[in-house]
Structure 1
Amino acid sequence: MTKLANDTSTKTDWNKIRSQFPVLDQKINGQDLVYLDNAASSQMPVIVSDRIDHYHKKEHSNVHRGIHSLSQKATDAYESTRTKVQEFINARHKEEIIFTTGTTDSINLVAQSYGRKNFNTGDEIILSEMEHHANIVPWQLIAEETGAVLRIVPMNDAGELDMDTYESLLSEKTKMVAIVHVSNALGTVNPVKEIINLAHQNESLVLIDGAQAVPHSKVDIQDLDADFYTFSAHKMCGPTGFGVLYGKKEILQDMPPYRGGGDMIDKVTFEETTWNDLPYKFEAGTPPIAAGIGLGSAIDYLNEIGMDEIASREAQLLDYATKRINDLEGVRIIGTAKDKASVISFLIDNIHSTDAGTILDQKGIAVRTGHHCAQPIMQHYDIPGTARASISFYNTEEDIDKLIDGIKYVKDFFS
C-alpha cells in the first residue's frame, strides 16, 4: 500500500493529508476552491487515481475465467477489493459482499429480488420521513407491483426520528424496514442499532442506507446486525459508478438473481439456466473493474488515516462550522439533531438557496443547493430547499471561515 508520507505524523497532519487531493489546489472564478459538497461526492486522493491509472496502463483485461496472466492479475486486484470491503465493515463472509453500481442500485436489487419473491398484498414496508429518494422510489415500485404498503416514520423539527411511532408501526405485516443511517440532507445520525433490534424482535428484515455513514465513521456490520447494508465508492474517496450491497449470506442465497447475463450463471441451455454461487449470482456482465480496484485503494487510504481519526476531525470541523453559522444573523440551520454527522443545511432569510449557491460559487465556494433528493424533508419544513455545506476530513477551519465570509457576501449582495 502506498504511504501517505514517510512518517507517521501525517495521521494527524491534516494539511499534509489535504495535499494528497490535487483537485483542491485550484482556483474557481479566480478564487481558491472551497469544496463543501462532500455528501454528493467526496474528492479522490492522488493515491487512488494513480492506482486506477496503473490498472489502465498495466493491468487492463477482463476479470474472471481468463487463464492468461493479465486477466488473472486484473482479477486478483479486483477481487482483493471484496476482501477489503469485508474487513472494512467486519462482514462475516466475503461472499456477503455484492458489487453494484452504487447505493441506488443496491437498494433496487433488494427491492426487486427480495421484494418480488416475498412481498404480498397488505404486507408493509417501513421507511422514514428523512429518506433519500433512492430509498423511497424502489420500495414504491415494488409496492405497486406486489400490493405491499408503505408506512412512514415521522421526524421532529430537529430532524430526529420519532422512535415511539416507529415501534408502534411494527407489526406482523412488517416485512421490511428500510432506514437511512445518516441523513444526507440533515446530517442526522439515526439510532440504527436500536431500529434493527426492534425490527428483529418483530421478525422483520432491515436494510440500512449507509451511503453517508461508511465514509465518516467505523461501521461494524456484525455489531449492527443489519440484514442488508448499502454504500457507494464515490462518497468515500473512490470513483463513481461502483458500490456495495452487504447481505446476510442465508438471505442472499434464497434470493433470485436481479439481472441475467454473463458471470451470474453456472450452466445455460435453452431449456434451463442455473445460477452461480454467491456473490456472483448478483453480478451479471463485465463489471466496472477500474472502479472496483479504485474502491480497494480508497479503503487502504482511509484505513491508513484511521476511521476514528477521520470521525474526530470531522466532528471538530462540524462543531466549529455550527458555532460560526449560528453566530450569523438571518441564517438558520435546518436539522439540529443531537447526534449529527458533518452536514449543515442552512437558509439565509429571504434568499433562495439556489441564488445563495450561485453567489457562493462566484467566491469559489462549492455547496449543494435544492432538495438534495429528499423532497419529503423539505415538505416537512415547508421549504423548497436548502444550501448544504458537507464537510470532509480534508477540509479546514479556513474553509469554514471562507464559507462564513461568503454567506455574509450573499446577504450584502441581496440587501
Structure 2
Amino acid sequence: MSESETFVNFMGGSPLNRLSWLRSSPPFLNNIVVSPATRWVVFRSGQPLVTRSNGVTKMAALTTPDVRPYLGPEPFFGQGEKEGEAAAEGVPSLEAARFRGAPVVFLGLDESNVTSSSALPSSEFSKGDPEAAARKVQGTPYFSLDVSHLDQKDADSLLEKSKTDGGRAFYSEPRGAIRGMSMLDASLFALGRSMVDWNARNKFCAGCGSPVYSMWAGWKLSCSTLRPWADNTGKEPCTTAKGIHNFSHPRTDPVVIMLVVNESGDKILLGHNKNFPPTFYSALAGFIEPGESFEDAVKRELWEEAGIKVWGVKYHSGQPWPYPSTLMVGYYALSDPSKPIRTDLDNELEDARWFTREEIISVLEHPEGTNFTGREFVDAPNTEAAEKARRGAPPFRVPPPTAIAGVLIHNWAYGKNPESVSAPLNGRL
C-alpha cells in the first residue's frame, strides 16, 4: 500500500451517500419511504435481523410493505400535534418530527451501482414537485427500524418475510453477525446499530428531564417542551431552546487502541482483559478523556493498564465499532520489553505479556486462532461453554481481521504495514 492510499477497516469505507442535508426535509423523506427501491434493516434489542444462506450472512433487506404495519400513520415525517396532521412548515422544532410509530432512522443511499451521486438540493423537494424529485434519486435508499417493542409473534412475522431460498432468517447476536458480511452490509450494520442504540437509550432531555421526540429522520432528539403546543406552565425554559447541544445529536465515543512493539520490531505486547473469553489476548485500548490528544491517551492508557512507558506513537487507521457506538483509533507505539509490566494499577487486565512474531504467526495460521462465536463475548469467562470452546484451540487466540486489533497484529506479523507506519518493524518511529 502506498502512502497516498487510505487504509479501510471492516465496517468502514461505507458506500452510502448519507444525504445529510435532506434529513430535515419531510417532502423528501415521505416520498422516499414509499419508493419501491427502498429497503429496511431491522434491529430488535440491538440484534440485527440477518439472513444466512450457503454460509453467507447478510442484513435482511425488507421492503416498505413488509414493515408498513409498524411505521405508524402518515405522514411518516413532519408529524403534527394530531394523528394524520402535518407539522407547520418553517418551525425548527418540528423539522421532520416523528411522534408516532416505531423508531426509524434514514441511513442513506447506496449508490454502488449508479454512475453519479445524488446531489439534489433540498429546494427541489420544498419548492418543486417532491414526487418528481424523488424519482430522480438513483440507488437504493436504506432506513433502519427498531422493533424492540414488538411481541414475539410480530417479531417472528418479520423473519418469515426475510427468508431466502434455501436460507434462514434470525435475530443475531451482534458480534457474531458480522462475520463474512460485504462492505455494504457491514456498513449498514455499524451505522444502523449505533443509531438504533442511541435513539433507544436517550428517552429524556439532558437539559431538563422532559421526554424527547425524534427529528431529522432519527438524527436529532428534541425536548418535548419545545413543541409549539407544549404546556410549559410553571416550568423554566429548557436549556436546549438556544444554541447547539451535544446531547441532542448522535454520540460517538473515541477509543485509542494500540499495538506496542519493541524497538527491534520482533515482539508485541498484548493483554488479557478480565472480561475476555479464555486465552484471548488483544491490543490494549481505552477511551479518550477530556483535555488530551489521541497520542496523550495512548501513553496514559498503556501506563495505567500495563505500567509501561511508550514513545514513537504512530497513527495507523480507524474503525467504527457499534458496541454500542465507538470509533476505534488505531496506533503503533514503541516500548522496552526489558522493563517490568504492571497490571495492578487499574486492575483492568488479568495478564499482559510480550509475544514473538513466531508465536503470533503460529496462532494466526491455526484454524481456531482467530475464530470466535458471538456467544463467547456474551457468556461470562470460564463458563462450561467457554471451556468447551477452548478444546483443540491454540495456546492463545487473537482478534479476527474484522477488528482493528486483528489488523494491527496481522499487519505487524506479516510486515504489511503501510509505508507511513512501517517504522515499528525497524525501530524508526
- TM-score clears 0.5: no
Q: TM-score, normalised by structure 2?
A: 0.27
Higher strand share: 2
Which protein, 1 or 2, shows the higher relative CO under an 8 Å CA cutoff with sep ≥ 6?
Answer: 1
Q: Max radius of gyration: which structure?
A: 2
Q: Going by fraction, where is helix more abundant, 1 or 2? A: 1
TM-score normalised by structure 1 residue count: 0.27
